Structure 1
């Protein structure tokens, strides 16, 4: 079978989802899976009719590119070994647990013609792509991001590196200015070592303020992202797949506006999309075309850096 030979390392929930997308891709030769729990890997391999490898090194010998969907603790070691063996890498977010690990990966990639992509899936969400279309970066005043849900899955990271990092990455893609100050508060209810709910504020040197809230103990599911500009507001409700552009006066955005007493409102239609499939296609396309991924090692490192600054604020505020 022709196509880029791809393997998956990590066969938990995310690994399974990646496998389910790979089998849909025509230009991919899905070779097999690896997990430190071989029985789990074997079970997944049967579902997708691929090989289960009993060692990561054996998987790497048989592929051109690897999808790393293992727990975050293992991201660095798996990614580093793959890069050293000249394999293209797609690693789930967060890229690494520490900045030192991220810097080591960047150093390993130097002078290698490899593609390295970090799985910040929201970059491939039509809602976020529309925000990039409609905003004027120099007009942004404030951003509010909320990502609340309930999850009892056992993770090796807290809500900042696991959940809030989605919005951190989006905000960094919108605001091209250094961060001047970070502040944060959080609570820990279920685990004395991990924060369950965190509110953070990022003040950028250009004056923009970003407010973020993330929780994995909320019994109300909320996923909202609001961009406030000087002349308009873009409100996104991920769960309802709804987006609104609110303006003081009509503007030519090729949209139909509802004219109210104070503002004009456009309800933006969001096309159906499969962001996970799209980001995997992007990864493979980058390999085929020798182009750079939308979220590469630098973008992955930047998100980790801000997340760790927020975590340090939480530690300092205890």
Structure 2
């Protein structure tokens, strides 16, 4: 609905014409909220509408590939939320279908469109902290996982659902691809599902080395409950850049019992509100101007590749050598 509201009200060069959900009650409710006259319960129906030029795919990851390929074959431009797909083979199918049908394919890495992240990238590129030595990125979410997320075979775990953004951030700031990685994790907050989902983890740390020698460190967690936490450090040879903090506002209170209070951020929705809008504007512009999206299918594929190898490291307890050939 974040995407829907943006396209419905705030982008002059785009018009939201329909919503689609297999749950008809949900589709009808969304259409009513958005004051739309059209809703669909199958994506095939939606894609048969010749007035639709582009689609936004925001559903569980296991459905991304089929919808994206069908959309490309229907000559619709595609914005696909992260994670791009379940594996790199599915990513390749999506990229090939988009290229064959001459449509745009953009992946939902909205942090690339956040003003703070863009400013930090400009500082890195200008050499303000010297050569980049380490990119450290963390994302911790407050919500309890939905049932399907416990099944690593269909969710790819927190590395996919939560930390795809961190993986893309690390690639973006390092300017390189992972060469080696090692991940450890465990289920600390959802122990009631251990018997049913023994491979599930709600906390993960993944460290690695990029091909250009830059070090990478990822910290991810689900159901932390204290709030939404997304922060980045870029350490250079001559300084450091930090992005983000844990606080919702700048308001801080000190009471007579000597306690200090400052509210933690509750959700990612307000933190990246402007970034989601900028992301949507950029998608429309790349269609109208026939330019390359700022978060491409290859960016999505590389994140999926690292998620897959990170999960392999978690399962085997070994350092993964990524080698060449995936670029």
TM range (shorter): 0.7 to 0.9
User: 2:75 aligned with 1:86, yes or no?
Assistant: yes
1:23 and 2:11 aligned: no
Give the C-alpha shift of residue 235 in structure 1.
1.2
| Deviation sequence 1:12-69 (CA, Å, 0-9, x none) | xxxx111111112221121111111111101111111111113212211221100001
Instruction: Count matched residues.
Output: 275
Counterparts of 1:178 and 1:56 in 2: how far apart (Å)? 35
Structure 2 distance, partners of 1:278, 1:46, is 25
Pairing 1:139–2:126 present: no
Residues 211-257 of structure 1, C-alpha deviations (whole Å, 9 max, x = no match): 11000132334321000000010011244489xxxxxxxxxxxxxxx
CA RMSD of aligned residues (A): 2.1
Cα deviation, 1:87-137, whole Å, max 9, x if unaligned, reads 100010011011110011122223332111000111111111011111147
Secondary structure in 1 matching 2:141: strand
Structure 1 stretches of 4+ with a deviation exceeding 3 A read 238-242
Q: CA deviation at 1:82?
A: 0.4
Paired residue secondary structure (2:96)? helix
- Please list, as runs of the form range in 1=range in 2, the aligned pairs for 1:30-109 lying within 5 A after superposition: 30-50=16-36, 51-62=38-49, 63-109=52-98
- 2:206 is aligned with 1:200: yes
Counterpart CA distance in 1 for 2:212 and 2:102 is: 35
What's the CA shift for 1:178? 3.5
Partner SS state of residue 209, structure 2: strand
Q: Which has the higher strand share?
A: 1
Give the TM-score taking structure 1 as reference length.
0.81
TM-score by length of 2: 0.79
* Unpaired stretches in structure 2, ≥5 consecutive residues: 150-154, 250-270, 319-327
Query: For the Cα contact (< 8 Å) 2:171–2:177, is it kept in 1?
Result: no
